[in-house]
Chains A and B, each alone.
Chain A
Amino acid sequence: MGHWALVKLAVSVLPRGGLREGVLRHVETCPACQTRLIGREDARRFLVQADQIGGLDGLWPAIRKAMDAGPASRPVVQGGAAYRTSSPPSRPKRRFLRWAAATGGLGGAVLAVLTILALVVPRSVDFAGAAESQSDPLRIVSASVGGRPAETYIIEIPEDRMILVWVEPRSEKGGQS
């Protein structure tokens, strides 16, 4: 691994502290490393300079208007210190409302799903049975429709890996599946 590759890796991987500081100090003094970094003059060519800025005549009137508009609603910067004061008072309240809405919505959705399941699952057909061995994928021991014994038919379609179960009351008027 080359010198520069090592430096790049060290700066990217090392945690903040003495070792990384040492690498950065090395970069500042090492002529080989400096050739890998853009200089001030070259960097300026990529940047907009203050003397290139024009057309800011409308800025002061807009600021003046905003100054008259009302009190501050943004976080305050205290004395140039590098910290932010507490958020505007409305922010925690909104966050709480957002959480409350999300929780309420989720609860409602769960309730709706449970209600639908309760309505959709048929109660008139009772199955009792279980697969007793691996060779019988499905065995119905008994079935009843509306409390009366029923005939069951198991139709297996191997190519579709599907099993259809047809249950019909013993009176020959129809069936349910």
Chain B
Amino acid sequence: MSDADLIAACLAGRREEFRHIVYAYKSQVMALALNILGNREDAEDACQDTFVQVFRHLATYDPGRSFRTWIFMILHRRCLDTIRKKKRFNQFFQKAAWECEPEEASRPEFPVPGGVVDAALLGALRPKERAALTLWANEGLTTAEIAAVIECAPSTARVYLFHARRKLKALIEERKKIHGTLGAR
């Protein structure tokens, strides 16, 4: 069954058909969530929340647009919400417990079971840059599609992607230099 058929079935009241949509997209959605959030627990929550929202608002989905892009857009919002909430919580926690190290509190957990997010990626890139990079490298989306997911102008999406690619390239160069120096010793 195609996405359109599954959506039509769900809208007709056959809720169990939504299972196929979940199975079709869960890995992609989870990978994107992991790459943005960096830890499994938050990614699973965002993933679950996203599918529930997708189901509840299927009636508002415009079939003229890409279903995958729509799901990613909802997920991206959930991820940003999660990051904002965590940031607020960490700020509050740091104020309340002065002995708590701020770096430690905001650092994501590594490695992630079921896939390892490179710590450098999370440290160097902003969430929207991580999202743009994941959508470009993993999903092969165009800048226009990335813009639709992260809800910005295509030129802004291009800038996010530019910075993400530039930062990662610089990181690779830096690692090569370090390895080269270590190798020379």
B133 proximal to A (CB < 8 A): yes
User: Is B61 within 8 A of A79, CB to CB?
Assistant: yes
A135 proximal to B (CB < 8 A): no
Convert B62-95 into 0s and 1s, putting 1 for each residue whose CB lies closer than 8 angstroms to a CB of A: 1001110110011001000000000000000000
Using Cβ atoms and an 8 Å threshold, which residues of chain A touch B26? Answer: 53, 56, 59
Kindly state the separation between the CA atoms of A8 and B167 in the bound complex, as whole angstroms: 11
User: Is A36 within 8 A of B27, CB to CB?
Assistant: no
Looking at chain A, what size class is its interface with the partner chain? 35 or more
User: How far is the CB of B57 from the nearest CB of chain A, in Å?
Assistant: 5
Convert A28-50 into 0s and 1s, putting 1 for each residue whose CB lies closer than 8 angstroms to a CB of B: 00000000111010111111111
B6 proximal to A (CB < 8 A): no
Q: What are 19 contact pairs spanning A and B, CB under 8 A?
A: A43-B133, A43-B164, A43-B165, A48-B31, A48-B116, A49-B115, A50-B31, A52-B31, A52-B114, A55-B114, A56-B26, A59-B47, A59-B51, A66-B48, A67-B52, A72-B53, A77-B60, A78-B57, A79-B61
User: Is A54 within 8 A of B114, CB to CB?
Assistant: yes
Using Cβ atoms and an 8 Å threshold, which residues of chain B touch A84? Answer: 77, 151
Using Cβ atoms and an 8 Å threshold, which residues of chain B touch A3? Answer: none
Known: A24-B155, A46-B118, A66-B52. A53 touches B60 (CB 8 A): no
A21 proximal to B (CB < 8 A): yes
User: Is B166 within 8 A of A77, CB to CB?
Assistant: no
Convert B18-55 into 0s and 1s, putting 1 for each residue whose CB lies closer than 8 angstroms to a CB of A: 11001100111011001100000000100111011101
Count of A-B contacts with CB under 8 A?
156
User: Is B30 within 8 A of A53, CB to CB?
Assistant: yes
- Segment at the interface with A among B97-105, B134-142, B177-185: B134-142
Known: A42-B172, A48-B35, A63-B51. A53 touches B62 (CB 8 A): no
Given contacts A16-B153, A37-B166, A67-B55, 12 further A-B contacts (CB under 8 A): A8-B166, A16-B156, A20-B155, A48-B112, A52-B114, A55-B113, A56-B30, A77-B60, A78-B62, A79-B60, A79-B61, A82-B147
B126 proximal to A (CB < 8 A): no
A74 proximal to B (CB < 8 A): yes
User: How far is the CB of B44 from the nearest CB of chain A, in Å?
Assistant: 7
A158 proximal to B (CB < 8 A): no
Partner of B137, one of A27, A40, A63, A72: A40
Closest to B40 in A: A55
User: Is B137 within 8 A of A44, CB to CB?
Assistant: yes
Known: A46-B120, A67-B18, A71-B56. A82 touches B62 (CB 8 A): no
Using Cβ atoms and an 8 Å threshold, which residues of chain A touch B155? Answer: 16, 20-21, 24
